[in-house]
Structure 1
Amino acid sequence: MVAAVVDIERMEKQQRVRKRPRFAWDVGPAQPEERAPVVARNEGMAARYVSPPRREDDREGHYMFNLGENLTPRYKILSKMGEGTFGRVLECWDRQTREYVAIKVVRSIHKYRDAAMIEVDILQRVAKNEKASSRCVQIRNWFDYRNHICIVFEKLGPSLFDFLKRNKYSPFPVDLVREFGRQLLESVACLGWSYPCDLWSIGCILVELCSGEALFQTHENLEHLAMMERVLGPLPEHMILRANRGAEKYFRRGSRLNWPEGAVSRESIRAVKKLDRLKLMISQHVDSSRSSLIDLLHGLLKYDPSERLTAWQALNHPFFKCPT
């Protein structure tokens, strides 16, 4: 533990400039909003529990609020913690349990309300799984308020991305990458499933923790495929031939990716060219003797889902069993 603290302190002294900035919708607000007091001294009993006047939602369906207002009589809004595609997350004071909570206020749009109810169902199932519940964020409650699904979570500290951002995107030490990777894999394994797409995601996260850079920083499909080939090698021909007709526009002459001919811009082509092979990318940040990490990442980032490591197989990998 002491060694980990020393490593984090060392990271804080380093500075790093991102090669390509994240898109605005990938990150939270640059500065947190001013925080309202939990209880104002001159706040009367009626004012403490009254709901604010009804307001129109904004154009995107977000709930409009002022700091210090109530979100139902039970919760007092203290600050805005973040914002994403589905809605906003508010720090609130729970008057019933007398604790700080994070409430996800979902946009009042039908598809996001439906998705939120699926999320509630999953979170409640996770909470009933004793092994998984110790590794996953806990749902406290949920309610429907003025056409907004509100999901109440325990309030946790900064995310790994928040920490990366504060430290100028400096890579994490390999020992911390190992510990974070173990926790991620245990979380997936203890949920009772091991879908290959989840293991691909964990592989991408571990690369970002090692390098400080998102592995495939794009939202354009063809550029994404080109980045994958640049880092991991050509896509398997048998997978391309099995792809549906919607994927034909990304390929030419059978199984060759339509790149760079199909690139949307020169900036896109440059972004792909900047990427290195996975082994070289990791070796720039991790000692070459740590080859077990590179082998683990190759196993997590296999193109063919049937060949990709499962969560339990990854946990038994030498990177976790025999750290060097």
Structure 2
Amino acid sequence: MECLKKFFPELLAMLNGFIPCSCVQLRNWFDYRNHICIVFEKLGPSLYDFLKKNNYRSFPIDLVREIGRQLLECVAFMHDLRLIHTDLKPENILLVSHDYIKVPDYNKNSSRSPKDSSYFKRIPKSSAIKVIDFGSTTYERQDQNYIVSTRHYRAPEVILGMGWTYPCDVWSIGCILVELCTGEALFQTHENLEHLAMMERVLGPLPQHMLKRADRHAEKYVRRGRLDWPEGAASRESIRAVQKLPRLQNLVMQHVDHSAGDLIHLLQGLLRYDPSDRLSAREALRHSFFTKDNLRR
């Protein structure tokens, strides 16, 4: 405890002016009955809470672009410090402001009256975000093969027990961007084999070299060099849940009017199966999905 009490003032001094604006800011700390309490800045709702109150309706593509840019900047900063967040998800990304506006939801059934509240959807007034919850953050090590990330945002190498490092954060970002575009989580599942089957449905077959490297806990998901699906499915409902998923390109084009091509190409880089081939956060920031927008300005 005494060590912590000495540590926090030094931490505040060290971080002052160095943390990018997309990371939550540590304001202060105090000792309450021998418990360290940490004070952060006051922020708005999480992206998940905003989506939920908005009946899980998608964000405009320009807002997705700005949120994605900030999220990647935060993660790139962390990776430069050799830190891995390991739990990126909409619940851990907060809007800075509570303010929003209501706009007509043109994707809804045209028979609905403008007097009907469901005819409108909420749009945040500001795109500014903060990434929070660094409680699971870890330094890069050689023996990192335990399970990390919340289920829907978990990378394939984590599920297969291959070990993980910085790219697991990038995979989570890809899943988050799809969710902001569609309003719903990309992989809505609670079971490993079904999760991997959903990945194959959306992104294509898993590479054989990754399936061969599955650890003893995950090797049961593989049979004769391929994913044991649908033979190993837990139920017919599980098979149907996988079959109803569209390919990534089709999913994005259902919800994005412009910049769809650039976004699809970016997502294909963020959601590459092999972590060694996946875009880094710095590389993603240089993608045309972000830079073309700047050139127009």
TM-score range, shorter chain: 0.5 to 0.7
Post-superposition Cα deviations, 1:167-212, rounded to whole Å, max 9, x if no partner, equal: 1111111100100000001111122158111111110000000011
Equivalence for 2:285:
315
1:219 has 2:186 as partner: no
Q: Deviations over 1:122-147 (max 9, x none)?
A: xx589717343422112334567678
Aligned-CA RMSD value:
2.6
Query: Which of the residues 35, 46, 66 maps onto 1:179?
Result: 66
Task: Tell whether 2:69 aligns with 1:164.
Answer: no
Q: Does 1:300 align with 2:270?
A: yes
CA distance in 2, matches of 1:133, 1:248: 41
Q: Secondary structure at the match of 1:199?
A: helix
What is the percent sequence identity of the aligned residues? 69
Distance 2:14 2:246 in 1: 41
CA contact (8 A) 1:126 1:133 kept: no
State which structure, 1 or 2, has the greater radius of gyration over its C-alpha atoms. Answer: 1
2:64 partner SS: helix
Q: How far apart in 2 are the matches of 1:234 and 1:227?
A: 10
How does 1:11-26 map onto structure 2 within 5 Å? Answer: none
Task: Decide whether aligned partners of structure 1 residues 147 and 129 sit closer, same or farther in structure 2, where only a CA change above 3 A counts.
Answer: closer
Alignment partner of 1:278 is 2:248 = yes
Distance across 1 between alignment mates of 2:236 and 2:32? 47
Once the 2 structures are TM-superposed, how far is the Cα of residue 150 of structure 1 from its aligned partner? Answer: 4.3
Q: Is there any run of 5+ residues in structure 2 with no aligned partner, and where? A: 85-165
Cα distance in 2 for partners of 1:183, 1:130 equals 17
Q: In the superposition, relative to structure 1, how do residues 147 and 234 fare at CA in structure 2: closer, same or farther (>3 Å)?
A: farther
Given that residues 126 and 132 in structure 1 are in contact (C-alpha distance below 8 angstroms), is that contact kept between their aligned partners in structure 2? no
Residues matched between the structures, number: 203
Q: Specify the SS of the correspondent of 1:168.
A: coil
Relative contact order (alpha carbons < 8 A, sep ≥ 6): 1 or 2 greater? 2
Shift, 1:321, TM fit: 0.6
Cα deviation 1:85-116 (Å, max 9, x = unaligned): xxxxxxxxxxxxxxxxxxxxxxxxxxxxxxxx
SS of equivalent residue, structure 1 residue 152: strand
1:232 and 2:208 aligned: no
Question: Is residue 2:19 matched to residue 1:132?
Answer: yes
Q: Which runs of 5+ in 1 are unaligned?
A: 1-116
Residue 155 (str. 1) matches residue 77 (str. 2): no
Determine the C-alpha separation between the residues in 2 that align with 1:125 and 1:252. 52
Alpha-carbon offset, residue 287 of structure 1: 2.5
